[in-house]
Amino acid sequence: MKFSTFLKPIVLACTLASSMVHAAEEVNIYTTREPGLLQPLLDQFTKDTGVKVNTVFVKDGLAERVANEGNRSPADVLMVVDIGRLTELSEKGLAQPIKSAVLEDVIPSQYRDPNGEWFALSLRDRILYVAKDLDLDHFTYEELADPKWKGKVCIRSGQHPYNTSLISAFIAHNGEAKTEEWLKGIKANLARKAAGGDREVARDILAGICDIGIANSYYVGRMRNEKEGSEQRQWGDAIKVIRPVFASAKDGGTHANVSGAVVAKYAPHKENAVKLLEYLVSDKAQAMYAKINYEYPVRKGTELDPIVASFGEFKADALPMSEVPKNRQKASELVDKVGFDN
């Protein structure tokens, strides 16, 4: 037997093994996050680790899609916005527990599942947009129902996840009866129907339709970084920001929601899935969350975007994040009961 003939099977086996290892250096993500916000982080992950990221952007029905795919699902990581949608993935059995010293060390316990099934990667606080010339420098969520603001409040649909999350937290602090009265008071104060998006709150303040409104802080960063003179830049420049607190909470804090992820139950590339989550809480990735997305990093000490930093110190509500989804169904029912969106 020629030596070269003897080597051929070995060379072929090594080539196949190398090909399989290379093929395994990938990770598949299903996400509801906006592509423009997430893609820079994923591109940097690939550049730094060599792991290819295959991304499926799913606008609606992510949990249903993964459930229908069952153990044939190619998804490794499921990434969503809103604590309710994040915990839903765990509750529906679509996630698997992960033990990671990196994630446990970086992410405060308030923002991760005790069983290791879900992890928050960034925070977004629900703040008050205020007309720039209005003499107001502090506020509580409870004050939204004060009759002195009659005809002066703008807000998006009460059924939007950002608002049902806030209402859920309000229930946790105040109970259902007081929350119902609070929602009735806000509805009575609305300057227009509860609709549109958060940026439209700033738009309508500029137009003089309302004086105040509830929205997420990161939209201010986006609007103020638009081209000088553009429509959205004008909206962002027309408002100032105040962080409301729960007057009824012992420590008083601002409601925060999250973006986060789970490792899918049947993840074919589990190791790379964990590697991605750990990368997303690294110094570099958390800085990108802050500078590109104008969000609050979960990693302590990460420098904020200057616009976001100008809002002052962010003290989050101390209510454990896992408590919020427990009241989500009741929050949605109360929105309908008081006709908030009608």
Q: Residues comprising the binding site for Fe cation?
A: 218-219
Give the span between the Cα atoms of 253 and 279, in whole angstroms.
29
Q: Helix 62-69 and helix 83-91: axis angle, to 10°?
A: 20
Which among 275, 286, 300, 332 is positioned nearest to 48, based on CA atoms?
Answer: 275
What lies within 8 Å, CB to CB, of 227 at 6+ separation is 233
Is residue 30 within 8 Å of 56, Cβ to Cβ?
Answer: yes
Give the span between the Cα atoms of 319 and 323, in whole angstroms.
7
Please, which contacts does 59-62 make with residues 24 or more away whose CB atoms are closer than 8 Å? 59/32, 60/32, 62/30, 62/31, 62/32
Give the span between the Cα atoms of 8 and 6, in whole angstroms.
6
Is residue 324 within 8 Å of 258, Cβ to Cβ?
Answer: no
Is residue 250 within 8 Å of 173, Cβ to Cβ?
Answer: no
The residue type of 317 is D
The binding site consists of 218-219
